[in-house]
Chain A
Amino acid sequence: MNTVRLYIKSMAILMKSQLQYPLSFALQTLAQLVMEGGELLAVILLIDRFDRLNQWTPGNLYFFFGLMSVSFYITECFGRGITGAFPSMVRSGQLDTLLLRPRGILTQVLCSAIDPRRIACIAVGAVSLVIGSRMSQIAWTPVKALLLAESVFCSFWLILGLFMIEAILCIHSVKSVELANTLTYGGRSACQYPIDTYPQPLRVLFTVVAPFALVMHVPASHILGKPLFAWPLWTAFAAPLTGFVLFGIMYLLFRQALRFYRSTGN
């Protein structure tokens, strides 16, 4: 509990520092809004031309898009320490100071940065979710609401875990490794559409290696009333837990990697 309090306190301090330059902050947030709006525009234009994607109606597609945006950018907002700041912490030797303090490294890294500009992207995602839900005429029940909450929550840990791959690699090689982007940003681009869009190799990649399909698409398809692969309801609750599993594995690897950490000096 102490850790959670520490995290909330650091977030409050960081927020305050971010808002010191209100104009710059507002412009950057606006830029984020335009960026995510552009992604949504691409989906709208594709739907305008093609009407549907397999069995998915336009409303369904907005729902999938919204689920991905909300989850991905919540992670980028609150997990900024891992998703953005970590490589430079290793390069500059800033990580050394964290090693001296009596707290977990990961806690401190997560407490060191926040990216409130992403709120604009989360908003676009939320709007898309609402529109998608309206157009798909989802009859909301407590079970469905719980499924959605679980999916977003588990996605956070999944995406954080995927970003930790880059963190782990950059402890070993100092330079940040662009290749890890294929799973994080590539996963975002690919899995904003349901998994059955893709041929077998990509399906395997996004189910087994980076289980976006299990964490997002399986529960979402149940909420939409079109279960993927006709899987039963209990799978929709069980599948997202793979997000935790992936995060757990990455956490262990991260601790292992830190034992090999060599400071860059300064």
Chain B
Amino acid sequence: MKAYFSVFRLRRRLETQYRGAALGGIICQIFFGLVLIALYRTLYVGKPQTLPLSHITTYVWLQQAFFRMLVASDADLMDKIRTGGIAYDLCRPISLYGFYYARILAQKLMGSLLRAVPMLVFAALLPEGWGIVLPASLPALLCSLAALIIGLFCVSALENITMAFTMRTLDSRGMQAMLNLLMMIFAGNILPLTLFPDSWQPIISALPYAQLLDAPIRLFTGEYALSQAGLILLRQGAWTAALVMLGRFMWQRNQRHLVVQGG
């Protein structure tokens, strides 16, 4: 266990090195957030919805702020698989899955925290109807933080499953792009899940993708009542456990069939 913690720590430090790149990313994300909110505002003028506009703006800002949590992926691992460098990792006396799980977890955590804090401050300063609103209540905030942490574990498990597909073929950019796209749509990044048709809600909110950011956001805005919170956290936990088990199984299978490229 200690080994995984030190991998996590090292990776966390590495991720905080690129602050300049983060700033460019933040401005980009803020711009996208403003464009989306402008669009939803105009749509709301035409046909007001039961869900207040402030929920939608909060949803957009939280999605933009934690964008890195969804998209960060381990480029080193892809290179290692292509060049055969993975052989060195196989020599380590720890589980390969655990090693890369700790790495991706650190990368996603630091990558998103580094960007989320300044962005949320900016979003909080925006006027009513554009910015982020306060959470529904203090317990709602705490529940949503807990949900966010489980979501982080869940997205790391998903990322490792995507990686398991990568290992099977040398050039899996197609496969990877498709899995990432599914995530972007059903995690609520392209369009808030709350704006999907009402009849779709029971299905899309039960999918693993909704456990990443959608569940924490809905707890934050109070759309999920506190009485439901226990169940939602349980659903998130169950998906995370299932995805970790599936990922471990896939990695172990792949390891047995692994062909190391070159020397």
Residues of A that sit less than 8 Å from B by CB: 21, 24, 26-32, 34-35, 38-39, 41-42, 45-46, 48-54, 177-179, 181-182, 186, 189-190, 193, 197-199, 202
Interface string of B178-213 (1 = CB under 8 A from A): 100100110000110001110000000000000000
Picked from A34, A39, A50, the residue with its CB within 8 Å of the CB of B47 is A50
- CB of A28 within 8 A of CB of B197, answer no
- CB of B46 within 8 A of CB of A52, answer yes
Does B25 belong to the interface (CB within 8 Å)? yes
Complex-state Cα separation, A53 to B43, whole angstroms: 6
Complex-state Cα separation, A51 to B35, whole angstroms: 20
Q: Given the interface contacts A49-B49, A178-B24, A186-B31, does A21 sit within 8 Å of B171 by beta carbon?
A: yes
Does B27 belong to the interface (CB within 8 Å)? yes
Q: Given the interface contacts A182-B31, A186-B31, does A30 sit within 8 Å of B47 by beta carbon?
A: no
Complex-state Cα separation, A181 to B44, whole angstroms: 28
Most chain A beta carbons < 10 A, residue from B39, B44, B171: B39
Complex-state Cα separation, A48 to B47, whole angstroms: 12
Q: Given the interface contacts A45-B195, A197-B38, does A31 sit within 8 Å of B46 by beta carbon?
A: no
Complex-state Cα separation, A146 to B43, whole angstroms: 32
- CB of A182 within 8 A of CB of B190, answer no
- CB of B177 within 8 A of CB of A51, answer no
Q: Given the interface contacts A30-B174, A186-B28, A198-B38, does A45 sit within 8 Å of B21 by beta carbon?
A: no
- CB of B28 within 8 A of CB of A179, answer yes
- CB of A27 within 8 A of CB of B174, answer yes
Q: Apart from A34-B181, A182-B27, A202-B38, list 9 A-B contacts with CB within 8 A.
A: A21-B171, A24-B173, A38-B185, A49-B49, A53-B43, A179-B24, A190-B35, A198-B35, A198-B39
Q: Given the interface contacts A38-B184, A48-B197, A49-B197, does A186 sit within 8 Å of B24 by beta carbon?
A: no
Complex-state Cα separation, A108 to B17, whole angstroms: 36
Complex-state Cα separation, A29 to B204, whole angstroms: 26
Q: Kindly report which residue of chain B lies nearest to residue A27, judged by CB atoms.
A: B174
- CB of B178 within 8 A of CB of A30, answer yes
Picked from B36, B42, B174, the residue with its CB within 8 Å of the CB of A31 is B174
Shortest CB-to-CB span from A198 to chain B, Å, is: 5
**Residues on B with beta carbons closer than 8 Å to the beta carbon of A31:** 173-175, 177-178, 181
Shortest CB-to-CB span from B18 to chain A, Å, is: 11
Does B122 belong to the interface (CB within 8 Å)? no
Q: Given the interface contacts A21-B171, A178-B24, A181-B28, does A46 sit within 8 Å of B190 by beta carbon?
A: no
Complex-state Cα separation, A51 to B42, whole angstroms: 12
Complex-state Cα separation, A52 to B178, whole angstroms: 30
Residues of B that sit less than 8 Å from A by CB: 21, 24-25, 27-28, 31-32, 34-36, 38-39, 42-44, 46-47, 49, 171, 173-175, 177-178, 181, 184-185, 190-191, 195-197
**Residues on A with beta carbons closer than 8 Å to the beta carbon of B47:** 49-52
Shortest CB-to-CB span from A168 to chain B, Å, is: 16
Picked from A27, A42, A177, the residue with its CB within 8 Å of the CB of B24 is A177
- CB of B28 within 8 A of CB of A197, answer no
Complex-state Cα separation, A53 to B49, whole angstroms: 14
Picked from A21, A30, A46, the residue with its CB within 8 Å of the CB of B191 is A46
Q: Given the interface contacts A31-B181, A177-B24, A181-B28, does A199 sit within 8 Å of B46 by beta carbon?
A: no
**Residues on B with beta carbons closer than 8 Å to the beta carbon of A189:** 32, 35-36
**Residues on B with beta carbons closer than 8 Å to the beta carbon of A49:** 47, 49, 195, 197
Q: Given the interface contacts A41-B185, A54-B42, does A182 sit within 8 Å of B177 by beta carbon?
A: no
- Show 22 residue pairs from A and B whose CB-CB distance is below 8 angstroms, ordered by the A residue: A24-B171, A27-B175, A28-B177, A30-B174, A31-B173, A34-B178, A34-B181, A38-B185, A38-B190, A45-B191, A45-B197, A46-B191, A50-B43, A50-B44, A50-B46, A50-B47, A178-B28, A181-B28, A189-B36, A193-B39, A197-B39, A202-B35
Complex-state Cα separation, A15 to B159, whole angstroms: 32
Shortest CB-to-CB span from B59 to chain A, Å, is: 14
**Residues on B with beta carbons closer than 8 Å to the beta carbon of A48:** 197
Complex-state Cα separation, A178 to B26, whole angstroms: 10
Q: Given the interface contacts A38-B181, A38-B184, does A46 sit within 8 Å of B43 by beta carbon?
A: yes
- CB of A42 within 8 A of CB of B46, answer no
- CB of A179 within 8 A of CB of B184, answer no
Complex-state Cα separation, A197 to B178, whole angstroms: 31
Picked from A35, A186, A190, A198, the residue with its CB within 8 Å of the CB of B181 is A35
Complex-state Cα separation, A38 to B179, whole angstroms: 12
**Residues on A with beta carbons closer than 8 Å to the beta carbon of B31:** 182, 186
Shortest CB-to-CB span from A193 to chain B, Å, is: 6
Complex-state Cα separation, A127 to B203, whole angstroms: 28
- CB of B174 within 8 A of CB of A28, answer yes
Q: Given the interface contacts A24-B171, A51-B46, A202-B35, does A46 sit within 8 Å of B181 by beta carbon?
A: no
For the complex of A and B, list the 6 residue pairs with the smallest distance between their C-beta atoms, beginning with the closest: A27-B174, A178-B24, A31-B177, A28-B174, A50-B43, A42-B191
